[in-house]
């Protein structure tokens, strides 16, 4: 067909709807954002520092304090001075596995034996692995004096008139009854 005009551009009507190469899915959008490659700025070649005069004697001031200052705020050698520090008994309780308070197998199965000393006249304590006890010379009272053989007459009151229970005054010493 020689009357066809396909090879001539613009001789046929074209589509009037908008065409784009953009594909969008409103439920799962994918956006292609513009990108660029950043280049590092060139570093200048170091030739020399014209302001430095440290190679000349006497151009640098002497240090104000020739000795290093002590670190007075450091408290790492003091126990308990750090944040979130806990005493040893609290750390042991927190780090140990949980304890069942109603479990009495240690008492019922093996039998309970105590190492507690309950002698108030001669106490012994064990604290931090050391034994602490009273000094027998400075903490005990002096011994009683030896008993005197025979009766102890200073407590008898038989010779004192009126020092007996149930004693009454003789009738001649009593006042007259009221009328």
Q: Flag whether the pTM goes above 0.85.
A: no
- pLDDT at 72 (0 to 100): 86
CA-based nearest residue to 122, from 131, 130, 112, 113: 131
**Long-range contacts (CB closer than 8 Å, 24 or more residues apart) made by 111-118:** none
The percent of the chain in helix, strand and coil, each rounded to the nearest 5, is 10, 5, 85
- pLDDT at 39 (0 to 100): 92
Window from 3-7, 114-118, 137-141 with minimum mean pLDDT? 3-7
- The two structure tokens encoding residue 51: 């302001």
Question: 2-11, 44-53, 106-115: which has the highest mean pLDDT?
Answer: 44-53
| Residue scoring higher pLDDT (100 or 14) | 100
Q: How far is CA 147 from the centre of its chain?
A: 60
Give 148-171 pLDDT, tens digit per residue. Answer: 888 777 778 878 877 877 777 777
92/99 Cα distance (integer angstroms) = 12
pLDDT reading at 5 higher than 70: no
């Amino acid at each position: 067909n020689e009357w066809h005009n396909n090879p001539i551009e613009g001789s046929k009507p074209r589509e009037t709807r908008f065409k784009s190469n953009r594909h969008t899915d409103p439920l799962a959008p994918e956006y292609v954002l513009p990108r660029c490659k950043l280049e590092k700025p060139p570093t200048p070649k170091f030739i020399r520092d014209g302001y430095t005069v440290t190679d000349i004697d006497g151009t640098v001031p002497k240090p104000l304090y020739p000795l290093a200052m002590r670190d007075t705020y450091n408290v790492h050698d003091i126990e308990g001075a750090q944040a979130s520090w806990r005493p040893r008994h609290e750390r042991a309780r927190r780090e140990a596995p949980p304890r069942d308070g109603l479990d009495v197998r240690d008492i019922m199965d093996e039998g309970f034996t105590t190492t507690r000393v309950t002698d108030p006249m001669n106490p012994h304590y064990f604290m931090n692995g050391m034994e602490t006890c009273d000094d027998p010379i400075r903490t005990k009272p002096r011994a009683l004096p030896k008993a005197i053989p025979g009766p102890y007459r200073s407590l008898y009151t038989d010779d004192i008139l009126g020092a007996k229970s149930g004693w009454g005054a003789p009738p001649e010493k009593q006042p007259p009854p009221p009328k």
